[in-house]
Chains A and B, each alone.
Chain A
Amino acid sequence: MRVTNLFFRYGRRNPWVLSNAGFVLSPGDVTEVLGPNGTGKSTLLRLLAGLLRPVKGTIDERPDVVGYAPERFPAAQPFTVAAYLRHMAAIRGTDPRRIDEWSERLGMDQLMGHRLPDLSKGSAHKVGLAQALLCEPGLLILDEPFAGLDATTRAELPQIIGEVSARGGIVVVSDHQGELRALPDLRRHEVRNGTIQELPRNAGSDAGARVTARNGTAQNGTTQDITPRGITPQDDSARDDSARDDMGRGITVQGAAVLEDSSPAVTVLEVAVATSKAEELASRLRAEGHVVRIAREAAE
């Protein structure tokens, strides 16, 4: 799929949301769309899905079958989950038996008889994912697919995305939570100031082959795995420099761990931050291309 000289704005008097953007997605590509809130990630996804028309430029060679899961599934519809998915299967011309397959895989068997308006946010989100996956899409567009999902489905989704990619599908995901960083060959496109820039591929996924786990010492003595894939510990004496910043928050710098294949050195940095600000900080760091994992700790 080829995006060429793409310009888009929501009306003649409005500013350009995207200007002169261009990139190519090949069969099997999985790309993560990054960027701060309000920069045009969802707009880009809608353009790629064919929901919006570029004001200038073109999007060519879009696969015929597109699956789209919006950020908020429209649960205000007078159907049960099963009836809704049966309608979606009929619209897509898909074998209705596939509904059972996806409901089982996404852990929503027990939801099938529930009415859509009665579903929790996470459960409704699963229905949105199921309808997008029913049709074996050649282009799968997922807008914040991990929001509100339980841990089991969160773990399953990267595998599903990997399968779509393995059979030649293109997957475009907007994800603030960085759940796809472990996928091999994950591409990343950042939307910022109206432009789209391809970022270097995720270090964890590029180094790819080997996973080295390591324990960082948390402030209250519990431990957690915080090392991304492909990072090898260096000399122990060179790391674990614990300190406190001027606000009293705990910081641990774990030395200069380097990638095995002579890639640039990376540093594993632990930061203790107020829970209310954790998501915001994590989103900002992820938007800049860092690997971030969050663990909740009891206050000292």
Chain B
Amino acid sequence: MIALARFRLAGYARSHRALQPLIALLPLLAIMYATPVPAGEELGAMADSAGILLPVFAWAARGLLDTEPDEQRMISIVTNRRGELLSGIIAACVFALGLAVIGELALLARLSADPGIGALMVGVCLHLFSVIAGVALGALTSRPILPSPAVSNLVLILGYLAILLVSASGARWLTVPVMSWMKDGHHDVLMGHLPLLAVQSLLWPLLGLAGYAWLRRTRP
């Protein structure tokens, strides 16, 4: 499974597709950190970063899963059905984590004050939640599930917007609470709310990935 994940990462990194999310990420970072983050806003900035980068992670995950030609995916499935599924998810997580590290480093470079280890760890946690949610959204819009590129793009964008809208509404427990990350981060209550937010932030992506695995049974 690790060899298969390495093969998929190598294929993605060597193709031009790997540049696409990177090209989206860099202007985003340039806009977000055009001015330094004021002292006391560290946690809010980390929550904003995790929320805003989610579609970039989703795009990267979908790109990685779709880079492999259909026939190659079939060859991979023959080698190990469950391994093919997991290796794709692992490879997508690894690449998205790489993007998250770039995002976090850019953020840290633009902080006006030392955020402290606690705030730093919360930021890392939020980016992890964002990566997992992004990978789930990317997997659910990948070619085996949505063969049409147009439909896939639309569902990815609308999926992210739906997450933002639902998480801003009263029914925020129905999705990954991205807006709650941001609100709580800016109101300095994120640390206290983190355990409940973590459950919600992990539950929905894991359900999404389970749905992806279930759909892939009949979509090789």
Taking Cβ atoms with an 8 Å cutoff, the residues of A that contact B are 46, 49-53, 66-68, 70, 72-74, 76-79, 87-88, 90-93, 131-132, 135, 141
Contact = CB atoms under 8 A, between A and B. Distances in A.
Interface string B1-30: 001101100110011000000000000000
A151 to B, nearest CB: 25
B7 A52 contact: no
A92 B75 contact: no
B10 A74 contact: no
B153 interface: no
Contacts of B81: 50
Given A51-B220, A52-B220, A77-B11, A91 B70 contact: no
B220 to A, nearest CB: 5
Contact of B14 (A49, A68, A73, A79): A79
Contact of B77 (A51, A67, A79): A51
B7 A87 contact: yes
A77 B78 contact: no
Interface in B49-98: 68-72, 74-81
Nearest to A87: B7
Interface residues of B, number: 24
B78 A87 contact: no
B69 A91 contact: no
Contacts of A78: 11, 14-15
A91 B217 contact: no
Contacts of A46: 74, 220
A70 B77 CA distance: 12
A131 to B, nearest CB: 7
17 contacts: A46-B74, A49-B78, A50-B77, A52-B220, A66-B78, A70-B71, A73-B71, A74-B71, A87-B3, A87-B6, A87-B7, A88-B75, A91-B3, A91-B7, A93-B3, A132-B75, A135-B79
A52 B220 CA distance: 7
A74 B4 contact: no
A131 B69 contact: no
Contacts of B10: 79, 87
B220 A74 contact: no
A93 B78 CA distance: 14
Given A74-B70, A91-B3, A91-B79, A53 B218 contact: yes
A132 B75 CA distance: 8
